[in-house]
Amino acid sequence: MPLVFTLAFRNLIHDRLRLVATVIGIVFSIVLVMVQMGLYLGFGRMVTTMIDHASADLWIVSTGTKSFEDPSLLDTRQRGRALAVEGVADAIPVVIGFADWRMPSGSSTPVFVVGSDLRAGGLAPWNIVEGRLEALSTPNAVAVDRSYFGRLGISGLGARAEIRQQSVRVAAVTSGIRSFTTTPYVFMDLDRARAHTGVPSSKTTYLLVHVAQGADVDDVRARLTTMLSGVEVLTPDEFRDRSRAFWLFGTGAGAALFAGALLGAVVGTVIVAQTLYSSTKDHLNEFATLRAIGSSRRYIYKVIICQALLSAVIGFGLAALVGALVVHLTAASALPIVITPTLSVSLFLLTVLMCVISAVAAIMKVTRIDPAMVFTR
Amino acid sequence: MTDVVMEAVNIAKVLGSGPAQVRALKGVNLTLRGGELTLLMGPSGSGKTTLLSILGCMLTPTEGTVHVRGACVSGKDSETLAKLRRDQIGFVFQSYHLFPTLTALDNVRLALDVRDDRNGNARMRAREALTKVGLAHKTASYPRQLSGGEQQRVAIARAIVGNPSVILADEPTAALDSENGQAIMTLLAESAKDAERGVLVVTHDPRLLPYADRIIHIEDGNIVREQSRDGTQKLREILERA
C-alpha cells in the first residue's frame, strides 16, 4: 500500500470523532443533493410519461403548446391534410381534458381524461393488471390506475361512477400510471372522451403521426410543417423537452430542486473543508517534519487530497445506502425519487469534487508551513 | 584529508524587524568534513538553532552562502532546497518528530518515500536501517510503544536510510537519560565513520565531548573557538569557564 495512502488513512482514523463529523457532513450533503436530483428526474419522467408511452413518430400539436396537459385544440380537418402528406401512414387523434368524476357516494374529484382511437394504436393505457385493453371499446368502459381507487371511491374492476352525468364502468385496471398533478388519469375511447370533456368532434388535442414504413421521419416532418398551418410538428424528444421545460422551469419547480441541490453541495463542501482544515492544523507539526526531511509540496498535497478522497469514498458509500433506502421507500409514492446510473456516477464525482475543493483551505495552510519549526517544537 | 561535505561562508542572519531586530549570526564560517563528527556548542540564544536551520537549508541567510557537496544553495527556490534536503541531508531532532500513526518501519520508509524511492527494496533498506540502530525487533511498533531512546534511534534510522552526505542533529540526547544518550551518540559517531558523510551535533551536554572529532563553540552569533580531537581537554576547560 502506498505510504501516502497509509499516512492519509491513519491521519483520518486518528481522530475518529472528526472523521464521523466529516462523514456525516458528506452523507447529509450528498443525500440532500441525491433527493433533490432524484425528485428532478422523477418529476421529469412523470411529466413525460404519456409522451413516452404514445406510439407516435411525430406529434402534431397546436402552435405554442407547452406540455402534454395543455388543452389547446386543433381542427380535425388537419387530420385529413396530414394523411394526404406523402409518408404519413396514419394520424391518430387524441383528446385530453379535465373532468369531474362523481363517485357512487355522491362526492366528486377531478380526473384527467385521455382518449384516443384504441384500435388504431393511439395512446392506450399500459401495465394493465386487471381487465383487458379491448374491453375499453365496450360501452362506458374506462381504465384507471389501482393506486387511485381510494381517490376515485371505487373498489376495482367493474366499479361504476359518473363523469359529466354520464355513467362509466371500470373495464381495465393499470398499475403505476400516476400523475404528477395527483389528478388521476382515466383512459377511454376517443368518442367517449369527447363526450366527457366537451371537446367537439371538429376538434382534437393532438394528432399522433405514424410514418409509413421506409419513409424518413425528418422528411415527413418537413412536408407536414409546409402543408399544415397553425400547428407545430414535434418529434417525441422535442415534445418531451418542451413538457419538461414547462413543468420544471416554467413553474420554478426545477429551479427550486436545483437550488436545494446546490445548497446541499455548498453545505457539504463547507463542513468537509472545516474538518479537513482542522485536521491539517492538528498535524501541522508532522507536515513540517515531512517538509524538513525534504518532501516536496506535491507530496504533502497528495496526503491531504488522499484524506479528502478517502472521506469522499466513505461518505458516498454511506450516502448511497441511504439513497437506495429512499428510492425503495418512495417507489410507490406520488412522486418517486429516481436515481439513474448516470446520476449515481455524477453524485460520486460531485462528492470527490466537493472533497477536493474542501482540501484547498488545508493546502493553503500547509503551503505557508515553515519547516524550521521542527527545531523549536 | 577527507572531503568537505558542507561549508558555510560568512553567514549572517538578522531576525525580526524594527526595534525588535536581532542579529542572530554575525559572519559565521564553518566546514563539515566527511568522516567527522562535529559538536556545535553554545549557550541558549547563541545562534545554534538559527545556524542549524540555515545549514539545513530551511532558512535563508541574510548574508553569506552555504555549499553542499560543493554546490552553492543561495538563491534556490524552496522546492530545490527540499530536494537538496532529501538527497543530501539527514535530520535528527530533539523531540524525535516521528509520525505517531506510523510504525517504526513506515517512519523510516517515509524518508525514502519522499524521494520517490518506492521500489521493492525500499522496505528492505528501511529494515536494514532499523537493524543498524538495534531495532530490528521493533519494526511494527508505533512510537507510543517505544521508549524515548528507541524513538530517537528510529529517528536516526530515518536520517541515515537515504545515505545522506550530512546528518544534522539538534540536541539529540537532551530528552534522554545518560545510558540512552550514550547509545545515541555511539550510533551518530558510527554514522560519521563513513568518509562520505559528516555529522554535526548541536548540544549543551559536555558528556558528548568524547564522541567529537571537532568541537565548535558559538557565542552571540560568532564562532569563538574551534578545536580538533587533540584539543578536547582544552575545550573542557573552555566549557567550564563558560
Contact B82 A291 (CB under 8 A): yes
Contact B118 A370 (CB under 8 A): no
- Contacts of B37 by beta carbon, 8 Å cutoff, 6+ apart: B188, B189, B192, B199, B201, B211, B212, B213, B214
Identify residue A351 by its one-letter amino acid code.
Answer: T
User: In Å, how far are B32, B34, B68, B194, B215 from B165, measured between CA atoms?
Assistant: 10, 8, 8, 9, 19
Residues of B in contact with A18 (CB under 8 A): none
Residues of B in contact with A295 (CB under 8 A): 82, 86, 114
Average pLDDT, chain A: 89
Percent of all residues in chain A with a pLDDT value above 70, rounded to a whole number = 100
Q: Give the helix/strand (H/E) hosting A90.
A: strand A88-102
A135, pLDDT greater than 60: yes
Can you give the pLDDT at residue A43? 85
The CATH label, of 3.40.50.2020, 3.40.50.720, 3.90.1150.10, 3.40.50.300, for the domain at B4-241 is: 3.40.50.300
Cross-strand partners of A162: A102, A167
Confidence of residue A109 (pLDDT cuts 50, 70, 90): very high
Residue of A nearest to B87 (CA): A294
Nearest Cβ partner for B114 among A295, A371, A377: A295
User: In Å, how far are A179, B60, B221 from A370, measured between CA atoms?
Assistant: 63, 12, 22
Residue of A nearest to B160 (CA): A293
Residue of A nearest to B95 (CA): A377
Break chain B into its structural domains and give their ranges.
Answer: 4-241
User: In Å, how far are B95, B105, B159, B197, B233 from B70, measured between CA atoms?
Assistant: 31, 33, 21, 14, 33
Contact B101 A14 (CB under 8 A): yes
Q: Which of A3-7, A365-369, B191-195 has the lowest mean pLDDT?
A: A365-369
Distance CA A183, CA A173 (A): 16
Mean pLDDT is highest, among A11-15, A25-29, A356-360, B97-101, for B97-101
Q: Which of A46-55, A276-285, A307-316, B52-61 has the lowest mean pLDDT?
A: A276-285
What are the grid coordinates assigned to A56, written together?
407516435
User: In Å, how far are A102, A151, A152, A154 from A106, measured between CA atoms?
Assistant: 6, 13, 11, 12
Contact B115 A292 (CB under 8 A): no
Nearest Cβ partner for A375 among B52, B82, B111: B52
Quick one: which of B16, B88, B29 has its CA closest to B56? B88
Quick one: which of A31, A33, A1, A14 has its CA closest to A275? A14
Successive 10-residue mean pLDDT values, chain B, 242 residues: 86 88 91 93 90 93 93 89 93 92 95 85 92 92 94 93 93 87 90 91 88 92 85 49 47
Contact yes or no for A161/A62 (Cβ under 8 A): no
Residue range A144-178, pLDDT digits in tens: 999 899 889 988 888 899 998 889 999 999 998 88
- Other CB atoms closer than 10 Å to residue A284's CB: what's the count? 15
Mutate to test the interface with B, among A293, A295, A303, A377 (most CBs of B within 10 A): A293
Residues of B in contact with A4 (CB under 8 A): 113
Confidence of residue A252 (pLDDT cuts 50, 70, 90): confident
Can you give the pLDDT at residue B164? 94
Residues A241-255 have a mean pLDDT of: 86
Residues of A in contact with B111 (CB under 8 A): 293-294
Contact B115 A371 (CB under 8 A): no
- Cα B153–Cα B157–Cα B159 angle in degrees, nearest 5: 115
Q: Which of A69-73, A277-281, B72-76 has the lowest mean pLDDT?
A: A277-281
Percent of all residues in chain A with a pLDDT value above 90, rounded to a whole number = 47
Nearest Cβ partner for A293 among B86, B101, B102: B86
Can you give the pLDDT at residue A377? 67
> In which region does residue B21 sit, left (phi positive, over 0), alpha (psi from -120 to 50) or beta (all else)?
beta
Can you give the pLDDT at residue B236? 43
Distance CA A83, CA A346 (A): 45
Distance of CA A153 to the CA centre of its chain: 29
Contact A293 B99 (CB under 8 A): no
Can you give the pLDDT at residue B233? 47
Can you give the pLDDT at residue A269? 85
Identify residue B235 by its one-letter amino acid code.
Answer: L
Nearest Cβ partner for B58 among A7, A286, A371: A371
- Residues on chain A bordering chain B, Cβ-to-Cβ distance under 8 angstroms: 2-4, 6-7, 10-11, 14, 285-286, 289-297, 299, 370-372, 374-377
Residue range A319-363, pLDDT digits in tens: 999 999 999 998 877 778 889 999 999 999 998 988 888 888 888
Contact yes or no for A231/A74 (Cβ under 8 A): yes
Distance CA A67, CA B166 (A): 78
Mutate to test the interface with A, among B40, B109, B114 (most CBs of A within 10 A): B114
Residue of B nearest to A303 (CA): B114
Distance CA B111, CA B106 (A): 9
Confidence of residue A42 (pLDDT cuts 50, 70, 90): confident
Quick one: which of A29, A135, A3, A11 has its CA closest to A358? A29
Can you give the pLDDT at residue B147? 93
Distance CA A285, CA A372 (A): 10
- Other CB atoms closer than 10 Å to residue A13's CB: what's the count? 12
Which segments of chain A does DSSP mark as H helices, in order?
3-14, 16-47, 49-53, 77-83, 149-152, 190-197, 217-227, 236-244, 253-282, 284-292, 297-330, 341-367
> In which region does residue A83 sit, left (phi positive, over 0), alpha (psi from -120 to 50) or beta (all else)?
alpha
Q: Reduced to 3 states, what is the DSSP secondary structure of residue A15?
A: coil
A33, pLDDT greater than 60: yes
Contact B91 A296 (CB under 8 A): no
Global pTM?
0.76
Mutate to test the interface with A, among B40, B49, B53 (most CBs of A within 10 A): B53
Q: Label each residue of A306-336 as H, E or C.
A: HHHHHHHHHHHHHHHHHHHHHHHHHCCCCCC
**Count of pairs with CB atoms under 8 A, one residue in A, one in B:** 82
A220, pLDDT greater than 50: yes
Contact A372 B101 (CB under 8 A): no
Q: How far is B230 from chain A (nearest CA, A)?
A: 31
